[in-house]
């Protein structure tokens, strides 16, 4: 998992035992590790939603209808459901842009992973697509829940240095608390995606949970119960066909719709 980009970020993170490790069997996470893991997840989500909007599944009656497209929903389709996916694509790109800016500020072409693998047929039928949507969003929710806890832990310690990826800035306690708030604001959007995916698949009640779940995720970056470990199958060619992040970003403008709202004020 630790490719060149991710390894460089971790090496610059000045990891020490005072940092957040709720797994107990791994290197502790620090802010840069969390940002990196979340960026990989958001790039994966971007690739997923783009290919859902451009794959065969878009012609399902629950989406654009037979012969329809993301931008030409037929009378037999459902404009609202297509709009859910279009907005989700925009939102995942926005999240990735934020996380990238917190790391190196470089272009998406410098992200740790440029290709993601999905099981064959993921983008062919509604049942396969929405099942994957549910699985991914549950993992993202668990990851951001873990991030909120970890940033809170780091802020409470207060006696350890947490550097940015370039080792040019030490994050203050207030910044760590703020990162927890931003993680929670992204978490809320991923919860919306989970529920709207269940609406599209007509799984009722769509809002069946009293509390969002951790999905077995304890750490964000490190360990067997980490979000990164949950993402590993999507980085493995044995999982299925490859889908390009660059292609998704190049084509997203033709199928996405705008979303509003900014991150919480620091």
Q: Number of helices (H) and strands (E), helices first, in the chain?
A: 7, 2
Instruction: Answer whether residue 104 shows pLDDT above 90.
Output: no
What pLDDT, on the 0 to 100 scale, is given for residue 15?
41
Query: What value, to the nearest 5°, has the Cα angle with vertex 151 and ends 217 and 191?
Result: 50
User: Residue 238 contacts by C-beta under 8 Å, 6 or more apart in sequence?
Assistant: 117
pLDDT at 95 over 50: yes
pLDDT for 35: 98
| Confidence check: pLDDT of 13 > 50 | no
Give yes or no for residue 183 having a pLDDT over 80: yes
The burial of 152, by beta-carbon neighbours within 10 Å (0-12 exposed, 13-18 middle, 19 or more buried), is given as: middle
Summarize pLDDT for 188-239 with one digit per residue, the tens: 999 999 999 999 999 999 999 999 999 999 999 999 999 999 999 999 999 9
What average pLDDT does this structure show over 72-86? 98
> How confident is residue 4, by pLDDT bands cut at 50, 70 and 90?
very low
| Percent of the chain topping pLDDT 70 | 91
What b/e readout covers 83-102, taking b as 16+ CB neighbours within 10 angstroms?
A: ebbbbbbbbbbbbbebbbeb
Q: What is the pLDDT confidence band of residue 1, given thresholds at 50, 70 and 90? A: very low
Q: Residues 140-158: pLDDT tens digits?
A: 999 999 999 999 999 988 7
pLDDT at 7: 43
Residue 18 has pLDDT above 90, yes or no: no
């Amino acid at each position: 998992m630790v490719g060149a980009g991710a390894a460089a970020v971790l090496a610059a993170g000045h990891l020490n035992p005072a940092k957040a490790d709720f797994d107990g069997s791994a290197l502790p996470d620090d802010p840069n590790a969390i940002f990196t893991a979340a960026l990989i997840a958001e790039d994966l989500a971007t690739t997923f939603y783009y290919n859902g909007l451009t794959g065969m599944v878009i012609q399902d009656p629950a989406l654009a209808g037979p012969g329809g497209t993301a931008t030409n929903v037929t009378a037999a389709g459902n404009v609202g459901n297509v709009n859910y996916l279009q907005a989700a694509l925009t939102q995942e790109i926005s999240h990735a842009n934020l996380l990238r800016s917190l790391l190196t500020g470089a272009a998406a072409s410098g992200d740790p992973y440029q290709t993601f693998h999905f099981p064959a047929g993921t983008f062919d039928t509604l049942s396969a697509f929405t099942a994957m949507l549910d699985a991914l969003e549950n993992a993202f929710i668990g990851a951001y829940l873990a991030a909120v806890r970890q940033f809170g832990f780091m802020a409470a310690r207060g006696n350890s240095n947490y550097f940015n990826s370039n080792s040019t800035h030490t994050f203050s306690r207030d910044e760590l608390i703020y990162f927890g708030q931003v993680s929670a604001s992204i978490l809320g959007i991923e919860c919306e995606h989970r529920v709207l995916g269940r609406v599209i698949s007509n799984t009722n009640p769509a809002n069946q949970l009293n509390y969002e779940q951790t999905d077995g995720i304890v750490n964000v970056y490190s360990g067997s119960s980490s979000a990164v470990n949950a993402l590993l199958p999507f980085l493995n060619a044995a999982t299925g066909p490859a889908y390009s992040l660059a292609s998704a970003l190049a084509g997203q403008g033709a199928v996405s719709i705008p979303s509003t709202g900014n991150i919480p004020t620091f």
